[in-house]
Structure 1
Amino acid sequence: MVIRRLQGDGFHEWIANARRCPMLTNKVSEIMTTNITTAVASQTVFEAMEKMVSEDVGRIVITDRDVSVGIFTEKDVLRRVVNKLDAKKTSIRKVMTSPFRAVREETHIVEAFGKMYKGKYRHLLVRGRRGKIVGIVSMRRILGLAVELDQGTSPTKTLGSITSPGATTVDESTSVYEAIDLMVKNGLGAVIVTAGSKPNGIFTERDVLKRVAVKDINTKKTAIKELMTSPLITMASTDLVRDVMAEMYRRDIRNMPVGGEKGELIGIVSMPDILQYAQAFDIDEKVRQAWKEVEEYYNSEDQYTPG
C-alpha cells in the first residue's frame, strides 16, 4: 500500500515538474563515472574486497565473460560476509547482488536520485543504448553536483530542523562482533562510539571493509575503540543545511553526527536524507513523507537492497 501511494499521481507530478528545472535536465550520463572497478565471478570474496580497498571504492561490478552479472558493495560486506563466512574460500558469485538495478544513460538525475532513495542504495549502474553497462552514478556525485551549482537549501534552513532525534550508540568497550551484529539487525550504515556518555568516534560500513574484512582480526576479542574513526566530526544543529552538504561532500562523509547547543549528540543525518532538501530538486513535503513511509516499510519488512 505504501509503495502504491508513492507511485501515484503525486510522485509522478513532482517528477514532471522537477524536470522543468534547468539543472535537472541533466542526465545521469553527464555525471556518471565510466571508470568501473570489476572482479570476475570466479574470484573469491576476499580478492574482490582487496580490490575495492586498493582502488578506494565502495562497490565492485562482477563480470562473467565480460558481461556484468552482479554488484558487490560495502553493505554486502557488512550484511553477508563479516561474522558469517570465510571470505578466502567463498566465491564472490555467492554473495553478490544479482540481478542488479540499473538505469538508462538518458535518465534524469532527479529520477535516479528518487530510485536510489526509495531503494536504499547509494549506487546505480547505467546502461548504454545497447544494454551494456557503461557507467555508475553515485549518491555522492549527485551531492557534488548540487554543491557545485550552489543549489543548497534556503539560506535559513538549519541542520537541526531536519534532524530526527536519536542515534544508535555503542560503548567503546563493545566488541567489533557485537557492533557489526547491531548494525546488521537495525539496518544501520554507522554507529556512534561513546566513552562513558561522551561521543568519541564513529564506526561505519567503510570501516568494516577497510579495517575488518580484509584484515586478520578476531572480531569477538577486538574492542570497537581500536577500529573506530576518531576524532568524531560533527556539525551543530544551528549550521545551515547548505553548509553541511558542502562539508559532507568535501570530506566524503555519508553520515554526519549532529551536536546540540551544549555539544551533546542529538542525532545523525545521512547523505540521502540531506539531499532531499537540495533546492535544485524542489522536493515538496508530501514527497518526502511518501519516501519516508517507503523507508519505514522496508525497515519493518527487513528487506534488502544493494548499496
Structure 2
Amino acid sequence: MLRATDLTVGNYMTAFPISVLPEVSLPETVNFMARRGIGNIVVTHDDGTPVGILTEREVLHQLAFHKTLPNIQIQDIKLQSFEKITPDTTIYEAAKTMLSKKTRLLVFSEHDKPVGIITSSDLLRAFRKTDYSPSIDSVASRKIYQCAYNDKILDAVELMHKKRIGSVLIENVEESFGIFTERDLIFKVLNNKVSLGEKLKIYSSFPLVTVKDGLSADKAASIMASKNIKRLVLTKNDDITGIVTARDLVDAYRQHVSDLLTKE
C-alpha cells in the first residue's frame, strides 16, 4: 500500500513551470495564460529568481477594483506568496504547508534553484495513488453564492471578490444551474476581450457538474481529473447542498493522514 508519507512531490510536480518577467503587462500575461490553458504563472527576475505567483485570483481582484483589466505591469500587483519545498518533500508535508500557510508551493533544488511548482491538482493526483478514501463532509463549503442568468459579468466578479470565492452558481429559469468560475473569466471573457457589462449567460459553464453529497474524496478527485475541473457541486435529493474544491479535497486527505499518524 502506498502511503502519503512515502510519496514525494518530485514525482508529481510540474517541472520548470512557465514564468514571466515583472515588467510584462497584465493584459499580455492574461492572454498568455489563456492561450496556454494555465491558471497561474510564476513571476521571476531575469536570473530566474521567483518573486511571486500571479493567479486567477489576482486578476479577479484587479477587475473588481478597476472595473476593467488595467494596463499595468505585473510588478505593480501584489502577487501570491510562495513557500519553498524540495523534491523529496512528502506530499503530506506539502499539503500541510500549503494549507496551514495558505500559500502556493514552489519546488527548489538542493542548490536553491527553482525546479517546479506543485498545485492542489498535482497533490490530488498523488493522493489518488494511495488507497485512502476520506470523507469530504468536514471540508465542503455549505454556503452557496449565485447570480442570475442575465446578471452582468461584473456582478459576478464583484461578488466573487467580496466573498473571496472562485466561482458562483448561475441560476437559469429555463434550464438547470450553471457555474461561472475564475477560469471562465480568464478563458472566455478576458481572452476574447468581452465587456464586463455583458450578461453571464453565454460565458458560464453549462450544465453544472454535480455529485451526490457524501461522495468520498478519492472519487471526487477522480471526477475532477476526468473533467479537468477544480470544483464539484454537491446535491442531495436534487437539492444543492454544498460545493467542494480541489484544495478542499487536499485538506480532506491531509486530515485523514494526520489521523492515521496519530493512531500509529
Q: Same fold (TM over 0.5)?
A: yes
Q: What does residue 214 of structure 1 align with? A: 191
Alignment of 1:34-49 (within 5 A): 34-49=15-30
Amino acid at match of 1:112: A
- Structure 1 range deviating more: 82-91 or 171-180: 82-91
Equivalent in 71, 90, 110 of residue 108 of structure 1 = 90
Structure 1: runs of 5+ lacking an equivalent: 1-20, 288-307
SS of the counterpart of 2:177?
A: strand
Q: Is the 8 A contact 2:133 2:216 kept in 1?
A: no
- Say yes or no: does 1:90 pair with 2:72: yes
- Say yes or no: does 1:176 pair with 2:157: no
Q: Is the 8 A contact 2:108 2:114 kept in 1?
A: yes
**What's the TM-score once normalised by structure 2's chain length?**
0.86
Q: What does residue 118 of structure 2 align with? A: 137
- Tell me how far apart the structure 2 counterparts of residues 65 and 244 of structure 1 sit (CA, whole Å): 40
Q: Is the 8 A contact 1:102 1:127 kept in 2?
A: yes
- Tell me how far apart the structure 2 counterparts of residues 198 and 213 of structure 1 sit (CA, whole Å): 26
- Tell me how far apart the structure 1 counterparts of residues 34 and 116 of structure 2 sit (CA, whole Å): 20
SS of the counterpart of 2:59?
A: helix
Q: Is the 8 A contact 2:4 2:91 kept in 1?
A: no
TM-superposed CA distance for 1:196, in Å, is 3.9
Alignment of 1:68-87 (within 5 A): 68-81=50-63, 84=66, 87=69
**What's the TM-score once normalised by structure 1's chain length?**
0.75
Q: What does residue 304 of structure 1 align with? A: none
TM-superposed CA distance for 1:25, in Å, is 2.5
How many residues align structurally? Answer: 259
Amino acid at match of 2:132: Q
Q: Is the 8 A contact 1:151 1:279 kept in 2?
A: no
Alignment of 1:147-186 (within 5 A): 147-153=128-134, 157=135, 163-186=140-163
TM-superposed CA distance for 1:99, in Å, is 5.4
Q: Is the 8 A contact 1:77 1:213 kept in 2?
A: no
Alignment RMSD, CA only?
A: 2.7
Q: What does residue 233 of structure 1 align with? A: 209
- Tell me how far apart the structure 2 counterparts of residues 207 and 57 of structure 1 sit (CA, whole Å): 12
Q: Percent identity?
A: 24
TM-superposed CA distance for 1:259, in Å, is 1.1
- Tell me how far apart the structure 2 counterparts of residues 162 and 27 of structure 1 sit (CA, whole Å): 24
Q: Is the 8 A contact 2:67 2:154 kept in 1?
A: no
- Tell me how far apart the structure 2 counterparts of residues 160 and 89 of structure 1 sit (CA, whole Å): 42
- Tell me how far apart the structure 2 counterparts of residues 238 and 85 of structure 1 sit (CA, whole Å): 39
Higher helix share: 1
TM-superposed CA distance for 1:174, in Å, is 1.3
Alignment of 1:273-284 (within 5 A): 273-278=248-253, 281-284=256-259
TM-superposed CA distance for 1:215, in Å, is 2.7
Query: Structure 1's 28 and 89: CA in aligned 2 closer, same or farther, altered over 3 A?
Result: same
TM-superposed CA distance for 1:249, in Å, is 2.1
- Tell me how far apart the structure 2 counterparts of residues 213 and 48 of structure 1 sit (CA, whole Å): 11
Q: What does residue 191 of structure 1 align with? A: 168
Alignment of 1:287-302 (within 5 A): none
SS of the counterpart of 1:36?
A: coil
Equivalent in 42, 45, 51 of residue 61 of structure 1 = 42
- Structure 1 range deviating more: 40-49 or 228-237: 40-49
